[in-house]
Each structure stands twice: as structure tokens, then as C-alpha cells.
Amino acid sequence: MLSNYFFNALNITNNDDLLAFSKKTNIPVSKLKMYNDERIFPFNHDLKVILKELNITELELKLRLGIIDTSTIEDIIKNSSNISKIIESSGKKNSKEKTLVEPIYTTKLGKLYQDDCLSVIENIPKNSVDLIFADPPFNLNKVYESNINDKLTKEEYLLWTEKWVLGCINILKEGGSLFIWNLPIWNTYISSILNKYLNFRHWISVDVKYQLPIPNKLYPSHYSLLYYSKGKKPNTYNNQRIPLEICRHCGGDIKDYGGYKDKLNSHGLNLTDVWHDISPVRHSKYKTRESNELSVKLMERIISMASNEGDVVFDPFGGSGTTYIVSELLKRRWIGAEIGPIDSIIKRFEDIDFHRDQIKEIQAKKNVLFTEEMNKIRRKNGHWLPETLEMNKKNKSNKLTNK
Ligand SMILES: C[S@@+](CC[C@H](N)C(=O)[O-])C[C@H]1O[C@@H](n2cnc3c(N)ncnc32)[C@H](O)[C@@H]1O
């Protein structure tokens, strides 16, 4: 069974076995379940008694659980010829036939498949995609229109995740970029897959509160956005700048820039790896379906930053199609997959002018130090503006030359 690595390793196949093992080792059932469900290697005294009960070494238990430390990797490398023969002869080769899939909806630039992303990925040529963005289900037991099972065991979710992640790595071009949006916990596992094949660029924290505070834990307040490239440097990195943060009411500075004001770039501040300016999609006018829709601003930023016009963008988890709409409007070619209903995606394309205006508005508010509205309120309330700093500088130097 896939979902019970730990119990399988302990030869526990049913509840009676579990109770018996617990009794023999004195490890409570709840703790054995924790090791199994959380996929954690047993520790301290528990480890000692488990090894004794199974009469195996720590290394064998690790191998039974699929845990390979770096020191073991060295031995595997040394014995790779023999080990690969053993694995290959065990007959577990991937001989699955490729199923051809046809797009269900096309636009000037894009192709949308109503299918499992794993089949769609198989049909995309290797080394052909410039940018991949993925926002998979988070396994939080949510109800999706597609009726997918969003309550897999940890083991099942991670196995499935590894499949589509490896597929995405295969189709990414050299120099292409990959972004994965998920809860921090899942992205720690996804990072450990990606670190083997791609180059880490950033763990971007997107400051969004998405659940209530949890007792005895920190208040979860960010989504993780992983950013990797295939090869040392991405082919495309278009710097994105954001406006200064100001007081919503009076337009005044929030931070004290002191004597550095005139050194600020007139195109805005450098984007950091903590994004505070992405709001969840809540307003019904902007929200096209019940849940999970990402903000157009987030996708505009990622696609503008990591691709150019004409590039190919792939998103394996369509949802309501935010990636596809933004790609189309930014003149990127795109490939999409959604296993469930796709009417909300098509509806968005029918109303593409609404999103065109949204993008225009988003773009007017980036790569500037102050947006037009900010300029207005700052001028009205007498706060400094780049031109006033420029004037002050000129006046100062005139005074000095007149002396
Ligand atoms: C979190 S939502 C994506 C939301 C999307 N980023 C947006 O802005 O609307 C995940 C989507 O993936 C779809 N999905 C789940 N498993 C899939 C699979 N194996 N292949 C394709 N789509 C899948 C679900 O039906 C769901 O619509």
C-alpha cells in the first residue's frame, strides 16, 4: 500500500497488528500513527525498540522507508551498477503508453486541455516551455467542481506531487523558470525534489492571511511561491518595481527615508522576496468562481518578470484560468490543463476586455515611485515628490554658486 510506508516497513497490515506492535514495543498507537501519517523517521527510544523488534539495522529501516541520507548516497554512487541492475530487474519500469490528448478550447495564443495534467504534460515536447506556474490543490479537503480527492494521505499527495513536478521539469526549456504556489509545508517537500534538478532562485513569501490563528503555533500568514530556473540563470528576468508605501489617509511616508530620498529610483522600489501587496480575490466583481482563484496582479507580476512576448507559458492546474487570461493579454503563448469543468475559464475569455482594463490598471501602478493617485494626495498635503527634491537640489546649488 502506498499510503502506509511506515506500517509496511513494520509489517503492520491491520489494526490488530498495530495494537500488537504497540503492546510489544510500548510505543503508543497514536505515536506509531504519527510516524506513519507524518512520514517521520522514529526517534530516540522508539527507534531502538523498533530496530530490536524487527531485528534490522537503522540503515535497513531507512531504506524500507525510502529515506536516503547524503552519506548513504555516496555508497549508492559507489555501487550504482549493481543497485541499478537490482532495481531494473525488479520489473517496475515505466511502460505506460502515452495517451494523445486534444485541446478543448483554443484562442489566438493558447490551447486548453480538459484533462489530467499528467497526460497533458506527456504530450508537451521536452525542453519546450519557457515558464511554468503551478497552483495545485493543497490537500485541505476542499470541495472542487472537478470532484478530485483533496484529502489524500500525505504519502499519496507527495507521490502525486512528485509525478507532476518531474513532468514539469522535463518540459521546461534550458533557462526556463518554474514557479510553484503552495502552503509552506508542501513547498518544503517540493523544494527537495526541485533542488535535485533545478537552480533555486527564491522562496517568495506572499503575505496573505488564509486561516484563523492556531493555538500554540505562529499565525500562518504567508503562501510560499517557489521560484527555480533550469540552469544557472533564467533566460528572462525583467525587473519589476513597486511604488513606495504611503499612508492611505494622508499620503505621507510610512518609512523614514531621511537623506536617501533623492537616491530612490524614479521607477520605484526593488521588489523583495516578501510580497505584501497581493490581496486575495474577494470582491464578487473580480471573483469568477467560488474558491481558489488567484489574483490577476500576482500572475501579471510573475509572467512579466519571467517571460517575454511570444514565450510559452504552461499552467497544469487551470482552475478559473487566471494564468491563461493574463498570458493571452500579455501576448504569451500558453498551454493549460484543467481536469474539471472549464466553463469559468471560457467565460473569462468571453469577458477578456474586463481583464484587459484590470491589467492596464495594474501596469499603471508598477515601475513608478508614486502612482498618479499617490502623486495627487501627496501634492495636496505637501509631501515631497521627486520633482520637489529635484527643485530643492537645484536651489541649493544655485545658492552655493551665488555665494
Ligand atoms: C487551486 S486550483 C487553481 C486555481 C487557479 N490558479 C486560478 O487562479 O483559478 C487547482 C485546480 O486544479 C485542478 N486539478 C486538480 N487535479 C488536477 C489534475 N490532475 N490535472 C488538471 N487539473 C487538476 C482542480 O480541479 C482545480 O481547479
The per-residue pLDDT for range 56-107, each reduced to its tens digit, is: 999 999 999 999 999 999 999 999 999 999 999 986 655 567 788 899 999 9
pLDDT digits (tens, 9 = 90+) for 134-187: 999 999 888 888 888 888 888 899 999 999 999 999 999 999 999 999 999 999
Q: Which candidate, 185, 193, 168, 167, places its Cα nearest to that of 224?
A: 185
- Nearest-5° Cα angle at 263, 257 to 267: 100
Atom from ligand 1 closest to the CA of residue 316:
21
Mutate-to-test residue for ligand 1 from 112, 133, 148, 278, highest number of ligand atoms within 8 A of CB: 148
H/E stretch holding 199: strand 199-207
User: What's residue 403's pLDDT?
Assistant: 64
Ligand 1 centroid to Cα of residue 117, in Å, is 9
Mutate-to-test residue for ligand 1 from 114, 133, 143, 146, highest number of ligand atoms within 8 A of CB: 146
The answer, yes or no, to whether residue 287 has pLDDT greater than 60, is: no
- Burial category of 203 from C-beta neighbours within 10 Å (exposed 0-12, middle 13-18, buried 19 and up): middle
**What average pLDDT does range 247-262 have in this prediction?**
87
Q: Residues with Cβ < 8 Å from 317, sequence gap 6 or more?
A: 117, 134, 135, 136, 137, 337, 338
User: What's residue 1's pLDDT?
Assistant: 42
Count Cβ atoms below 10 Å from residue 7 Cβ, excluding itself. 20
**What average pLDDT does range 394-401 have in this prediction?**
74
User: What's residue 95's pLDDT?
Assistant: 58
- Nearest-5° Cα angle at 302, 375 to 255: 35
The answer, yes or no, to whether residue 190 has pLDDT greater than 60, is: yes
Here the cell at position 196 is 535535485
User: What's residue 96's pLDDT?
Assistant: 65
Percent of residues, the chain, with pLDDT higher than 90 = 76
Atom from ligand 1 closest to the CA of residue 320:
9
Q: Where are the alpha helices (DSSP H) in 146-270?
A: 154-171, 184-197
Q: Which candidate, 64, 25, 19, 67, places its Cα nearest to that of 46?
A: 25
**What average pLDDT does range 17-30 have in this prediction?**
97
Rounded CA separation 326/336 (Å): 12
